[in-house]
């Protein structure tokens, strides 16, 4: 392929859809394109190239990725458009055939492919359509970019080997590939020197980190991070509850930089439904898990997700889930309706649950969760806490930020009634009021920080 020389500063716009892991991929794409001299713009109409970083996890997300791409195609007929991300990784050949109006396609098993297709299109060359190269390990996982001021996602592994029966991720992102502890430590050190103070460790299942090298190494990773100097938060997102790495609690008790925020996707509480999902737990076991975490570290905050409408889920199974919800009193909870995904083991399962029933069950859980989360937030009023400032609210004398019990993008925020703060810094605050799932605060005089 003849490479046309690259003019200065081609501009590109990236439309990021999907989960936190897609966010990290988007940041890596931004790094790769910036290193190639391309400039990112925040409005599509200013761009020469538009990249849609799609999601292919469930039906709803797939539809959103396609409608977004076609909407941008229609709105910007003269611009180059690439459909990248999970949807393309999963349906590469089909999409190329069916979406001829899109200029380029690139999956996410090797993000360099997005760079290559982008540069080819910007040069006016036709991106090669030959078999894509697959890479693994560290070289494809990088995120030199910030997610929020002072905060970064650190992807410690790619892919998943748990093969839950309803999940398409192992077929999109492949088997588990863990980074080395050394490369993660170095990345945290480098970013902390750049002023980052919150590190959100992400993978499909943090608890399995290192298992592709023989045995889980999440405890070793925590121990290695704990040796680092500095004032920062470490947040662990997505630990599979069936193999919770208990020794991490000992490290967290000694080193409070490991904030007691646990994202444990339980998915269900009925033993038979969990079994059909390819999971080993039960409501009783998960209650013991949450109880033990909370007794060992009383300030612990637990987020989870439930999946309702799974084939074979009876009214009795659902009542078990409701009972578990009332007993576990999870601080934050997201609920999803089962989405039948071809290629997954559950796709073949009979006794499907009607969409209406699945929706009603999701709405019932969401309704019951509101007072649980509100009571949890009410209990924060009058307490002091450390807040990570995210931004100043334009034209107002207040800022927004997050306490340790609020993860980026998914949990509420803190509105700080103070001026002159810096985004990306920690400030001591006292919570004064709850407003829905958000909190209000003032700066705290004393050093007593919970
Ligand atoms: S652990 Fe998570 S990512 Fe892995 S197969 Fe199960 S649901 Fe999917």
Instruction: Take atom 8 of ligand 1 and give the residue whose Cα is closest.
Output: 167
- Please report, in angstroms and rounded to a whole number, the separation of the first and last CA atoms in the chain: 60
User: What is the phi/psi pair of residue 446, to 5°?
Assistant: -85, 170
| pTM exceeds 0.75, yes or no | yes
Q: Is 143 in the pocket of ligand 1 (CB under 6 A)?
A: no
Q: Where in the chain is the domain with CATH 3.80.30.20?
A: 145-378
Q: Which helix (H) or strand (E) holds 386?
A: strand 384-392
Q: Which atom of ligand 1 is nearest to the CA of 205?
A: 1
Could you read off the pLDDT of 262-282 as tens digits, one per residue?
999 999 999 999 999 999 999
- Taking the centre of ligand 1 as the mean of its atom positions, its distance from the CA of residue 99, in whole angstroms, is 29
Burial of 14 (0-12, 13-18, 19+ CB in 10 A): buried
- Taking the centre of ligand 1 as the mean of its atom positions, its distance from the CA of residue 40, in whole angstroms, is 32
Q: Where in the chain is the domain with CATH 3.40.50.12160?
A: 11-122
- Cα–Cα distance, 106 to 127 (Å, whole number): 10
Fold held by 11-122 = Rossmann fold (3.40.50)
Tell me the best of 22, 168, 169, 240 to mutate to test the pocket of ligand 1, counting ligand atoms within 8 Å of each CB and taking the most. 169
Percent of the chain beyond pLDDT 70?
92
- Cα–Cα distance, 120 to 256 (Å, whole number): 48
- Cα–Cα distance, 29 to 173 (Å, whole number): 16
**The residue count for the chain:** 450
Please answer whether residues 97 and 90 qualify as being in contact, where contact means their C-beta atoms are separated by less than 8 angstroms: no
Give the pLDDT of residue 409.
85
Superfamily of domain 145-378: tm_1862 like domain (3.80.30.20)
Q: Is 160 in the pocket of ligand 1 (CB under 6 A)?
A: yes
Could you read off the pLDDT of 357-397 as tens digits, one per residue?
999 999 999 999 999 999 999 999 999 999 999 999 888 88
Could you read off the pLDDT of 4-51 as tens digits, one per residue?
444 456 899 999 887 777 877 888 888 889 888 899 888 899 999 999
Number of Cβ atoms within 10 Å of the Cβ of 449: 14
Cα 85–chain centre separation: 14
Tell me the best of 20, 162, 203 to mutate to test the pocket of ligand 1, counting ligand atoms within 8 Å of each CB and taking the most. 162
> Could you tell me the CA-to-CA distances from 245 to 21, 337, 370 in Å, in that order?
22, 28, 30
In this model, does residue 144 exceed pLDDT 70?
no
In this model, does residue 142 exceed pLDDT 60?
no
- Taking the centre of ligand 1 as the mean of its atom positions, its distance from the CA of residue 148, in whole angstroms, is 26
Number of Cβ atoms within 10 Å of the Cβ of 3: 9
Give the residue among 30, 248, 235 at the shortest CA–CA distance from 151: 235
Q: Is 240 in the pocket of ligand 1 (CB under 6 A)?
A: yes
- Taking the centre of ligand 1 as the mean of its atom positions, its distance from the CA of residue 261, in whole angstroms, is 20
70-94 burial, b at 16+ Cβ within 10 Å, e below that, comes to bebbeeeeebbbbbbbbbbbbbbee
The average pLDDT across 235-251 equals 96
Q: Is 168 in the pocket of ligand 1 (CB under 6 A)?
A: no
Over the chain, what is the mean pLDDT? 90
The sign one gets for the Cα dihedral 274, 278, 280, 285 is negative
Please answer whether residues 107 and 113 qualify as being in contact, where contact means their C-beta atoms are separated by less than 8 angstroms: yes
Q: Is 267 in the pocket of ligand 1 (CB under 6 A)?
A: no
CATH classification code of 384-443 = 2.40.50.140
Q: Is 114 in the pocket of ligand 1 (CB under 6 A)?
A: no
The average pLDDT across 204-230 equals 97
Q: Are strands 39-40 and 11-16 parallel, antiparallel or unpaired?
A: parallel
- Taking the centre of ligand 1 as the mean of its atom positions, its distance from the CA of residue 167, in whole angstroms, is 6
Helix (H, G, I), strand (E, B) or coil at 151: strand
Q: Between 138 and 244, whose confidence is greater?
A: 244
Could you read off the pLDDT of 95-117 as tens digits, one per residue?
988 898 899 999 888 888 999 99
Give one word for 214, left, alpha or beta, with left for phi > 0 and alpha for psi -120 to 50: left
Q: Is 347 in the pocket of ligand 1 (CB under 6 A)?
A: no
């Amino acid at each position: 392929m003849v490479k046309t020389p690259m003019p200065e500063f081609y501009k590109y716009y990236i439309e990021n859809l999907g989960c936190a892991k897609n966010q990290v991929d988007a940041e890596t794409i931004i790094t790769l394109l910036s290193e190639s001299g391309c400039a990112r713009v925040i409005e599509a109409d200013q761009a020469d190239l538009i990249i849609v970083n799609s999601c292919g996890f469930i039906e709803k997300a797939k539809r959103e990725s396609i409608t977004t791409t076609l909407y941008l195609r229609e709105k910007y007929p003269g611009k180059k458009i690439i459909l990248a991300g999970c949807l393309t990784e999963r349906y590469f050949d089909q999409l190329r055939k069916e979406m001829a109006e899109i200029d380029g396609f690139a999956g996410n098993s090797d993000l360099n492919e997005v760079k290559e297709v982008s540069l080819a299109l910007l040069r006016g060359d036709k991106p090669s359509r030959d078999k894509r190269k697959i890479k693994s390990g560290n070289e494809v996982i990088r995120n030199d970019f910030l997610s929020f001021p002072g905060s970064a996602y650190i992807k410690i592994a790619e892919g998943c080997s748990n093969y839950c029966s309803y999940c398409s991720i192992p077929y999109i992102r492949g088997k588990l590939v863990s980074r080395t502890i050394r490369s993660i430590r170095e990345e945290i050190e480098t970013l902390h020197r750049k002023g980052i103070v919150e590190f959100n460790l992400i993978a499909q299942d943090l608890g399995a980190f290192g298992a592709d090298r023989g045995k889980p190494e999440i405890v070793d990773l925590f121990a290695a991070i704990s040796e680092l100097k500095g004032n920062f938060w470490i947040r662990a997102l997505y630990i599979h509850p069936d193999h919770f790495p208990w020794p991490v609690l000992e490290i967290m008790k000694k080193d409070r930089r490991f904030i007691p925020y646990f994202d444990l996707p339980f998915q269900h509480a009925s033993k038979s439904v969990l079994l059909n999902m390819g999971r080993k737990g039960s409501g009783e076991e998960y209650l013991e898990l949450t109880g033990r975490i909370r007794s060992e570290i009383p300030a612990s905050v637990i987020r989870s997700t439930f999946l309702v409408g799974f084939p074979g889920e009876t009214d009795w199974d659902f009542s078990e889930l409701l009972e578990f919800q009332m007993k576990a009193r999870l601080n934050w909870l997201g609920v999803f309706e089962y989405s039948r995904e071809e290629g997954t083991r559950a796709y073949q399962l009979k006794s499907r649950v009607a969409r209406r029933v699945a929706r009603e069950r999701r709405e019932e859980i969401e309704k019951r969760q509101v007072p649980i989360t509100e009571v949890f937030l009410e209990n924060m009023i009058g307490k002091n806490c450390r807040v990570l400032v995210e931004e100043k609210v334009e034209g107002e004398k207040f800022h927004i930020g997050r306490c340790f019990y609020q993860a980026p993008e998914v949990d509420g925020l803190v509105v700080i009634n103070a001026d002159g703060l810096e985004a990306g810094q920690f400030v001591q605050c006292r919570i004064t009021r709850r407003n829905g799932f958000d909190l209000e605060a003032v700066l705290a005089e004393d050093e007593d920080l919970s």
